[in-house]
Structure 1
Amino acid sequence: MLHKLRVMVGYLVAITATWLPASSYAEFKYNLPEPVSGITRDIYSLHNLTSIVGIIIMIIVTGLIVYSLVTHRKSKGFEADQHFHESWFGKWSWALVPVIVLGIDMSIAGPASKTLNKIETYDPADVTVKVTGSQWKWTYEYMDSGVKIVSNLNRDLTPEDEFYLRDVDNPLVLPTGKRIRFLHTASDVLHAWWVPAITYKKDSIPGYINETWTVLDTDKEGTYRGQCAENCGTGHAYMPIVVNVVSASAFDEFIGGQKLAMAAAAEEASADKIWAHEELMKRGEEVYIKNCVACHQVTGEGIPNVFPALKGGAITTGDLAAHKDIVLNGKQGTAMAAWGAQLNDLEIAALITYERNAWGNNTGDTVQPADIKAAR
């Protein structure tokens, strides 16, 4: 019987070992990603500590249970000691066990308190990024430079691709060696921006700002991935996060390039040019696929009882002024966001032109940037 017990415990230890948060098992995704900042390194160590303590407790408790089941069987003729509570151990175990539990808790509480205190520091930041979650994309605003990036799921990848559902069109770019402050909020429902290797998680709440921070290691340039960590609706799985970590000089070059691109786009959108219908349709399709397809689908048929169809829809084939209004200002109480602050006049003009003429709608309407400027 003792041999059988040893075999059972051996199997238990072998199975449990596959769950150990050791670096040798990291490639099997049993652990958090390798940290690339001081704060995530502390969290990683704390996670490992609690996991190891928990596994040790589980092994001891499970071993005692198995031993008791094997040894104290009625079929073996075992009779319970009715006077156990009168023994020394029976009397003092009520005090001993809580002391042991408290000791275990304190062994974790010390490192945990240090980590939490470090998390809740608010030193001046070198770079501040406002992260806004929306169904189903991320908007990044570099508050120090005015650069704004909208990050959507990369829909060009096939299921066979390594990064299918984990890649985006516009990744967030962050510098190494700088203190980075993240301001988290949302435009519609709860979201949670989380890249475990880079920083810790706090919820993105509409109308509220949460703050996190990080300082990325100078020798950890590369690409890091995360995911929205709060169930935010039907498109929750389509909100990946991609962060490119670069040197401080490369980051400055990136910001400079984005400023030039934004200035060129703003100049183009504000020009008095009369755009051809075909040009607006082409641009409108690009804007639609980037911003609207998650809800209204490529076919424009939407999702029944969730997101309305644009193909033959009352808005897209009806009053043009009403169409402009709902795109610019959204619709309160629904998932329809206000795009007026997110897209420029040219992008909105192209989008509305596309929606009113795609999928057989064929209204023949052409909306110019000047029309959107007047409607704002």
Structure 2
Amino acid sequence: MKRLTTLLSALVAMMSTNVFAEYGLNMTKGVTEISGDIYWLHMMVFWVCVAIAVIVFGAMFYSVFAHRKSKGAVAAQFHESTKAELIWTIVPMIILIAMAVPASKTLIDLEDTTKAEMTVKITGHQWKWQYDYPKEGISFISNLAQSSKDLVRDSESLISGATSMSKAEASNAESRAKNANYLLEVDNHLVLPSGTPIRFLITSNDVIHNWWVPAFGVKQDANPGFINDAWAEIPVGKEGTYRGQCAELCGKDHGFMPIVVDVVSKADYAKWVSKQQAAAVAAVASATKTWSKDELMAQGESVYNTNCAGCHKKDGSGMPPIFPAMKGSPIANGAAADHMNIVLMSYRLSCCWGKGSSESRRCSVSETSIPLQSKWQRMQTEALRILREPLSSVPREKKHRFRDEPTCLRLDKNIHVTGNLRSA
């Protein structure tokens, strides 16, 4: 009897939603109001299902035990029961309505972005995230941090047997792998202010991705050619770092495109915006800067590791035949003038390399009489104008041209612009 009392007490204690919130296999509660509503709805439906299971299985096991043949039970003989039919029709209907009403309210609240005070556009790429703040004129790419990329590369090399590691290197790799944020660090964090309703416009540049931050209650598909929206408001006092993941299988490095969000106070957010805007101005000004060879080498390594190494490997060996080797190729060993023309004047390398179509031919610039530096400055200025131009102000025919003829222009390691510059 004492054991039964202890068991029942433990079961009652487990019914607390706070206990379930801490349980590792249960849904997380989150920090936003909408995530709390979702969690409450989840637990309400869960307990309804538990109650139904207890009643149904309890009645079934009782019937099997109490009316077993060895006790001489005789089955009741009846043809129909209108009362029973009404009960098992009306009761489930009431239960479904009781669940549907709060669920519908939560879904309506989840989709209502009309109260948003700021907008962030999120674009999924293989395998990174691009964040644009249209009002603030800020845009950047968020990649898996280089430290995590090195760890992945070391692991792949060991598995393939291509390289060997010393005991010290292996120990260092193991300690990094045991880090709580293993493969969850990025180079550029999304920064959001607390106490502000924020609208997220979510899309994709290639395949289907999914932007998922459990603490915000946001999980939305990023579909190419479509824009899905969501919203979140992180309460004041809940500032901190929140993490998420791409939740849609999107290719080879699907597991390596994490999401890191820093929620800060409005005052700190204003400082961050000012800093980013100043950096963008400096980036434009750097177009006229005369770079030293060492500076160019360092910048080139950073850009390659961020944008190219995922497919073409850090050592340039690639993954033939899908991703050709850069090492030893005409791209790396060809004439310097041709290489500069590709880097400065064409689309992204992946758009043109090895193509023989009209799309490839548009990669080269025919206006050879204009110096490369002047062309670059003109393209950079026009690209920044397109980046900051509200979509609503773009003529309809130009929108279609942007959609049908995608062009990718790399301004620097932080700015991506899509659109056909010929149509401007």
Structure 1-normalised TM-score?
A: 0.76
2:351 is aligned with 1:330: yes
Taking a change above 3 Å as real, the CA distance of residues 345 and 219 of structure 1, as seen in their structure-2 partners, is closer
Specify which of 17, 23, 27 is matched with residue 22 of structure 1: 17
Deviation at 1:301, TM superposition (A): 3.0
Contact 2:32–2:215 under 8 Å retained in 1: yes
Taking a change above 3 Å as real, the CA distance of residues 96 and 166 of structure 1, as seen in their structure-2 partners, is same
Taking a change above 3 Å as real, the CA distance of residues 308 and 65 of structure 1, as seen in their structure-2 partners, is farther
Taking a change above 3 Å as real, the CA distance of residues 346 and 11 of structure 1, as seen in their structure-2 partners, is closer
Taking a change above 3 Å as real, the CA distance of residues 249 and 78 of structure 1, as seen in their structure-2 partners, is farther
Which amino acid is the alignment partner of residue 107 of structure 1?
Answer: A
Contact 2:216–2:234 under 8 Å retained in 1: yes
Specify which of 171, 174, 193 is matched with residue 211 of structure 2: 193
Deviation at 1:329, TM superposition (A): 6.6
- Matching residue of 2:135: 144
Deviation at 1:306, TM superposition (A): 4.5
Deviation at 1:340, TM superposition (A): 4.1
Which amino acid is the alignment partner of residue 348 of structure 2?
Answer: V
Unmatched 5+ residue regions in structure 2?
A: 149-175, 356-405
Among the aligned pairs, what percent are the same residue? 39
Deviation at 1:16, TM superposition (A): 11
- Structure 2 CA distance, aligned partners of 1:11 and 1:312? 70
Contact 2:210–2:246 under 8 Å retained in 1: yes
Deviations 1:280-338 (A, max 9, x none): 23222211222222223323333455533333456545684695446357259x9xxx8
1:117-266 map, 5 Å? 117-157=108-148, 158-266=176-284
Deviation at 1:147, TM superposition (A): 0.7
- Structure 1 CA distance, aligned partners of 2:74 and 2:326? 74
3-state SS of 2:273 partner? helix
- Structure 2 CA distance, aligned partners of 1:131 and 1:307? 26
Which amino acid is the alignment partner of residue 63 of structure 1?
Answer: G
- Matching residue of 1:288: 304
2:79 is aligned with 1:81: no
The Cα RMSD (Å) is 3.6
- Structure 2 CA distance, aligned partners of 1:122 and 1:295? 37
2:108 is aligned with 1:113: no
- Structure 1 CA distance, aligned partners of 2:247 and 2:415? 30
Contact 1:195–1:241 under 8 Å retained in 2: yes
- Corresponding residue pairs, total: 332
Structure 2-normalised TM-score?
A: 0.68
Contact 2:348–2:410 under 8 Å retained in 1: no
Specify which of 311, 324, 346 is matched with residue 308 of structure 1: 324
- Answer with 286-295 or 185-194: which moved more: 286-295
Deviation at 1:141, TM superposition (A): 0.6
- Structure 2 CA distance, aligned partners of 1:311 and 1:201? 40
Taking a change above 3 Å as real, the CA distance of residues 224 and 346 of structure 1, as seen in their structure-2 partners, is closer
Deviation at 1:339, TM superposition (A): 8.5
Taking a change above 3 Å as real, the CA distance of residues 294 and 66 of structure 1, as seen in their structure-2 partners, is farther
Taking a change above 3 Å as real, the CA distance of residues 308 and 121 of structure 1, as seen in their structure-2 partners, is same
Contact 2:190–2:261 under 8 Å retained in 1: yes
- Structure 2 CA distance, aligned partners of 1:13 and 1:232? 46
- Structure 2 CA distance, aligned partners of 1:84 and 1:311? 84
- Matching residue of 2:52: 57
Unmatched 5+ residue regions in structure 1?
A: 349-372
- Structure 1 CA distance, aligned partners of 2:55 and 2:411? 60
- Structure 2 CA distance, aligned partners of 1:287 and 1:21? 51
Deviations 1:80-115 (A, max 9, x none): 7362444x4xx4333321211111111111111221
Which amino acid is the alignment partner of residue 116 of structure 1?
Answer: L
Taking a change above 3 Å as real, the CA distance of residues 101 and 299 of structure 1, as seen in their structure-2 partners, is farther
Which amino acid is the alignment partner of residue 152 of structure 1?
Answer: N
Which amino acid is the alignment partner of residue 42 of structure 1?
Answer: D
3-state SS of 1:249 partner? helix
